[in-house]
Structure 1
């Protein structure tokens, strides 16, 4: 088969789909991918054929702001404001879907795919598939995606462990569980993580690819270093390599690391609570300290804290002393906390693998005949 994947131009929206696409390749299918050009190099490295489509989340926000002079760009990025939520709705339910639908019609004509796999926030791809009469499935990237429920629905491949998913998603008729598999582009493992002779715990620190903050990362590194651990900080593309300045011994800072390869070597993780990193840390059974910065991260953090799977520090609560105390507690977990993490690892392992889902993909995909069945994104993530 020829399969056309589509996702928003962001790592957190694209990488969750890569394991299924790789499984499709292993099964002998040809994979094309419609997404913004920033994602093209890493997708091409995996053997997929990328096609330019859609608009970036940042461009959509900028355009939404430009259409409403009463809202400043500063207000637009504050997740707790009415202005932000209005702009989110406009960007994710109007501007981005319109761009994808427009761009995907000619791509579908060129590729002639047998089916479309659309990331759940890219429902413009679902509309384009409907126009072409092609079967489509949607692929989730985390928790809490709202769907219309009164019409026949597109199949949702849900990668969130059921114990952490929201009830309205679990009861959706078209939901099919899919095991979350961590993906990162290939690269060398940093020596601090690969050193088998250094028995100090390794604490991995990241704020993801979209919410990098040099001040927060520096405070985390400073707080943890006094515990006598190894500390590996992944800056991400938005933080300059030298932005953290001088740091204590035992702290290594990298612009980028192969996160999926690092996690098995870590004893704990401090991160932003983005869906991809959260799911990867859960699958690895790691103690987690969450420092949510925006988007869906506050909801993810609240869910993990409620389940006894993580600790969180929000805003001014996060400073070197509080971070140090929280990580020290993570590195000396109670038996009950360790058992809760193992239970989620077992739950994830029991979910169908990407290879198993690929075998049923044609049957799961079906043409959309009623656009009211297209998924509606409630709170987007990056």
Structure 2
């Protein structure tokens, strides 16, 4: 039996992709624990895993200037504020995690791709460690479309690809602006400096688990040899929290059900978004279920029209089988959950990597996209009608659904982590150059 400690930011979009792997490892007799923000304790313990507190309680409590500005701006400006948040988070983790590691004594760390403190402490302690990477576009590449927060589409046009090479060079210069701050933290731990720390700091030399597959993620020729695309990782285990959602079983069967969510992190623009949804769909004859997250008070959306249900949290595994379509923000988790359940979607990206995921959805043919600054009730109405009736979107969704369901992220990820725990050596893809 091995002991696995999973260090992850307090966001369900990063926690849930690790859950099928953790569940499978537990089923095989291993010991599993999580280290995350305190607001995630009840959720993680409800799934049956041991919990340690590390880092910010959650993003809803972490209301620093940098975090607010991260959601207000787009592109490089948004990224700059995001990197400042990561630096602050990293500084807290390298204080909080050492006593957790000392108490739990893990054989392997599984580190989320933006949990820099976990990666650095694994280096310091010479622990075998793996990366859980639900944002694979951040992994550097010579030939993949640049991951810019602008949502650039893939292209085979030589002129466009030449422009993309220039953008990648600019990205490298931009990343280097933040190397001094990240490397000062590394120096405090007696670790050597890295280049482009913000994207390379958490890339394990042992094993990188990527919860998606090609067909959704863009193809590339230069994945690191220790990177494994294990397939999407939908999490559908029923917990005590789900007992409060028995109302889902009573939803009407004679109306199309539309599920609407901005996830659990997009908290600063959510009120205007949900008001727009209500204005757009109140007279359309759908039954609309809106999951508004942990911050917004649903009283701010009153009076709630007939045909709407507003909840702070709705488990995807219960609601998605009842839906005709989904309106979401472009989080990797909900985007892939929609495809896994065969649901077309309308994506309204707000900031950060959401524009990138939205473009992946459109490129795969499974979604339409309305950037948040262009969202109006009329545009939302028209786009949703097309999503529900366009046969090409339906066909692309069904095709990618079959590809998703041919994978088993939990079993594949668990087997790779077992190999790492057993050998303490890098786990390379068969046939890859080590």
Q: Does the Cα contact within 8 Å between 1:223 and 1:324 map onto a contact in 2?
A: yes
Residue matched to 1:25: 26
For residues 58 and 322 of structure 1, what CA distance do their matches in structure 2 show? 30
Aligned 8 A contact 2:132 2:209 in 1: yes
Task: Determine the structure 2 residue equivalent to 1:80.
Answer: 74
Corresponding residue for residue 373 of structure 1: none
Residue 190 of structure 1 deviates from its aligned partner by 4.8
Does structure 2 retain, via aligned residues, the 8 Å contact 1:205–1:232? yes
CA distance in 2, matches of 1:61, 1:294: 16
Shift of 1:195: 3.5
1:297-351: CA deviations, max 9, x gaps? 11111221222211111234322222111111122121x2222111211221222
Structure 1 residues 79, 173: CA separation in 2 closer, same or farther (over 3 Å shift)?
A: farther
Q: Which residue in 1 is equivalent to 2:432?
A: none
Stretches of structure 2 that go unaligned for 5 or more consecutive residues are 141-199, 427-434
The structure whose RCO (Cα within 8 Å, separation 6+) is larger is: 1
1:233 corresponds to? 290
Residues 79, 299 of structure 1: alpha-carbon distance in 2 compared, 3 angstrom cutoff:
farther
- Is 1:103 matched with 2:105? no
- For the Cα contact (< 8 Å) 1:129–1:367, is it kept in 2? no
Aligned to 1:362: 418
Aligned residue in 2 for 1:91: 85
How far off is 1:197 after superposition?
A: 6.0
Matches within 5 A, 1:83-232: 83-92=77-86, 94-147=87-140, 148=200, 153-167=205-219, 171-183=223-235, 186-188=241-243, 190=245, 193-195=248-250, 198-212=253-267, 213-232=270-289
C-alpha separation in 2, matches of 1:58 and 1:252:
23
- Bigger mean CA deviation after superposition, 352-361 or 165-174: 165-174
TM-score normalised to structure 2 length: 0.75
Deviations 1:72-115 (A, max 9, x none): x76443332644332322332x3323332332222212111111
**Is the CA contact (8 Å cut-off) linking 1:180 and 1:348 kept in structure 2?**
yes
Measured in 2, the distance between the counterparts of 1:250 and 1:350 equals 36
State how far apart, in whole Å, the 2-side matches of 1:196 and 1:75 are. 38
- Note if 1:275 corresponds to 2:332: yes
2:60/2:265 contact within 8 Å kept: no
Distance 2:18 2:210 in 1: 11
Counterpart of 1:62?
Answer: 64
Aligned partners of 2:79 and 2:352 also within 8 Å: no
Q: Which residue of 2 aligns with 1:378?
A: none
Q: 1:199 to 1:364 in 2, by over 3 A?
A: farther
Question: Cα distance, 1:247 vs. partner?
Answer: 3.2
1:330 aligns with 2:387: yes
Question: Partners in 2 of 1:258 and 1:114 — Cα distance?
Answer: 32
Residue 348 of structure 1: aligned partner: 404
Distance 2:345 2:333 in 1: 14
Q: How does 1:26-45 map to 2 (within 5 A)?
A: 26-45=27-46
State the SS of the aligned residue for 2:284: coil
- List per-residue Cα deviations over 1:182-215 (Å, max 9, x = no partner): 3365414756642476222111111111214122
181-190 or 201-210: which moved more? 181-190
**Counterpart residue number, 1:70:** none
Deviations 1:140-197 (A, max 9, x none): 2244122549x98231111122122244596221111223233365414756642476
Q: Structure 1, residues 213-250: CA drift from partner, whole Å, max 9, x if none?
A: 12211221332232212111111112102121123321
Contact 1:269–1:288 (Cα < 8 Å) also in 2: yes
Indicate the SS of the match to 1:162.
Answer: coil
Q: Which of 376, 390, 398 matches 1:319?
A: 376
Secondary structure of residue in 1 paired with 2:32: strand
Distance in structure 1 (CA, Å) of the matches to 2:258 and 2:249: 13
Partner SS for 1:164: coil
TM-score (norm 1): 0.84
